[in-house]
């Protein structure tokens, strides 16, 4: 016959059960810890504020491999109120990078002031990517080397001489866009760089285009300060042969500044009824597609975005090259400061002109892959 437990035994068992219960409760997950408060200046996920006080683009904006690429581009900027308005637009659009197409401060000694103006609106880590214009290439109205120091390259995998002639694939792995930035038609301290037919710089550019195609990178974008076709104040400073080479190799989009207008061509091609593009004239056979929705491989679109902040030039409608253009804006016709915004996926390149505050002009176009 089993003996019954006394008071001491019952108390011991009760203590053991209580201790086991406490141990099990300690192993259960507690309520989640509250998320840490962001430190001052940390970008948030809330919608971008108005252009009057834009937040800098987020520092983690770099695209993952194969994801869409979102960028802006403009040239001829200055350090004026207009420049700040355009930078505010860029900040509000929150792109992954910006192509600054030359002519920055327009005065020697203002390099740091220009850089501070940019970083104050876009952030220290934002890829504000430079290619020189004629105002800073020879040191007369600024020094491209000083701009490169205070606005250095922020993109991985860049090749070439940043600020003058360079290329980069974005994203770095499984890229969607190859950017090729060059400097034809610009005087440097030792004179102009040689982009004549079959020169070293010509071959570097042509090889960069061919290599992008051999790697099946969906889109090729060439940027430079000087255009060839223009209904502004300048003639073909980029060079006729160099421009025709870009068309022959079917570069998708060529961006420039220099002329203080916005101008965007139809899709242009050579061959057949257009043996070559001849500046200061018009050949209808060079028009490959004249609507706003184009197909890759049919030709090249040229866009001049020389409206990044400085004063505008007139559009010369009597220029025979005018018939190559699908959209134009200048001092005497739909004036606007602003930026080109481009979104590129593996299947489509979609672009639009976004005006700064106080302007209404707009333009848009798409190029789709076959």
In the chain, % of residues over pLDDT 70 = 82
Looking at residues 54-64, what average pLDDT do you find?
Answer: 56
Mean pLDDT (whole number) for 267-273: 96
At residue 55, the pLDDT reads: 60
In the predicted model, is pLDDT for residue 184 greater than 80?
yes
pLDDT tens sequence across 315-331: 999 999 999 999 999 99
| pLDDT above 90: percentage of residues in the chain | 82
Predicted pLDDT of residue 62:
55
Could you give the CA distance from residue 55 to residue 81 in angstroms, rounded to a whole number? 18
Centroid of chain to Cα 62 = 12
- Tens of pLDDT, residue by residue over 276-302, are 999 999 999 999 999 999 999 999 999
pLDDT at residue number 63: 59
* Band of pLDDT at residue 220, cut at 50, 70 and 90: very high
How large is the average pLDDT for residues 9-30?
41
Average pLDDT of the residues of the chain: 88
Per-residue pLDDT averaged across 239-245, rounded?
Answer: 98
**Mean pLDDT along residues 337-350:** 97
pLDDT digits (tens, 9 = 90+) for 121-176: 999 999 999 999 999 999 999 999 999 999 999 999 999 999 999 999 999 999 99
Least reliable range by pLDDT among 26-35, 41-50, 354-363: 41-50
Instruction: Give yes or no for residue 20 having a pLDDT over 50.
Output: no
| pLDDT on residue 64 | 53
What's residue 66's pLDDT? 78
Mapped to the 3 state alphabet, what secondary structure does the chain carry?
CCCCCCHHHHHHHHHHHHHHHHHHHHHCCCCCCCCCCCCCCCCCCCCCCCCCCCCCCCCCCCCCCCCCEEEEEECCCCCCHHHHHHHHHHHHHCCCEEEECCCCCCCCCCHHHHHHHHHHHHCCCCCEEEECCHHHHCCCCCCHHHHHHHCCCCCCCCEEECECEEEEEECCCCCCEEEEECCCCCEECCEECCCCCCCHHHHHHHHHHHHHHHCCCCEEEEECCCCCCCCCCCCCCCCHHHHHHHHHCCCCEEEECCCCCEEEECEECCECCECCCCCCCCCHHHEEECCCEEECCCCEEEEEECCCCCCCCCCCCCCHHHHHEEEEEECCECCCCEEEEEEECCCEEEEEEEECCCCCCCEEEEEECC
Q: What is the pLDDT of residues 77-94, one digit of tens each?
A: 999 999 999 999 999 999
What is the pLDDT at residue 17? Answer: 39
Domains of the chain in start order, with CATH, are 69-368 (3.60.21.10)
């Amino acid at each position: 016959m089993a003996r019954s437990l006394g008071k001491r035994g019952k108390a011991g068992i009760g203590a053991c059960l209580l201790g086991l219960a406490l141990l099990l409760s300690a192993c259960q997950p507690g309520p989640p810890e509250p998320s840490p408060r962001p430190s001052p200046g940390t970008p948030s996920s809330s919608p971008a504020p108005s252009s009057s006080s834009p937040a800098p683009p987020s520092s983690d904006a770099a695209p993952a491999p194969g994801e869409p690429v979102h960028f802006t581009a403009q040239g001829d900027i200055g350090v004026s109120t207009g420049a700040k308005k355009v930078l505010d637009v860029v900040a509000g659009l929150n792109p992954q990078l910006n192509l600054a197409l030359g002519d920055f401060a327009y005065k020697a000694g203002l390099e740091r002031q220009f850089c501070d103006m940019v970083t104050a609106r876009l952030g220290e880590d934002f890829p504000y990517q430079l290619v020189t214009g004629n105002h800073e290439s020879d040191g007369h109205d600024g020094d491209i080397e000083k701009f490169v120091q205070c606005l250095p390259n922020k993109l991985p995998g860049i090749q070439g001489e940043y600020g003058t002639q360079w290329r980069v694939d974005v994203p770095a792995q499984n890229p969607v866009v190859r950017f090729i930035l060059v400097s034809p038609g610009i005087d440097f301290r030792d004179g102009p760089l040689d982009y004549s037919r079959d020169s070293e710089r010509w071959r570097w550019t042509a090889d960069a285009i061919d290599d992008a195609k051999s790697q099946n990178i969906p889109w090729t974008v060439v940027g430079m300060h000087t255009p060839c076709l223009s209904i502004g104040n300048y003639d073909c400073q980029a060079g006729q042969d160099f421009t025709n080479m870009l068309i022959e190799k079917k570069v998708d989009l060529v961006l420039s500044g220099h002329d203080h207008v916005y101008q965007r061509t139809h899709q242009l091609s050579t061959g057949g009824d257009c043996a070559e593009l001849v500046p200061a004239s018009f050949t209808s056979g060079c028009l490959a597609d004249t609507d706003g929705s184009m197909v890759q491989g049919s030709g090249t679109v040229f866009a001049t975005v020389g409206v990044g902040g400085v004063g505008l030039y007139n559009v010369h409608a009597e220029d025979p090259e005018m018939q190559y253009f699908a959209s134009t804006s200048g001092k005497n016709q739909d004036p606007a400061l602003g930026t080109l915004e481009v979104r590129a996926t593996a299947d489509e390149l979609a672009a639009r002109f976004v005006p700064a505050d106080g302007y209404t002009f707009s333009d848009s176009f798409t190029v789709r892959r076959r």
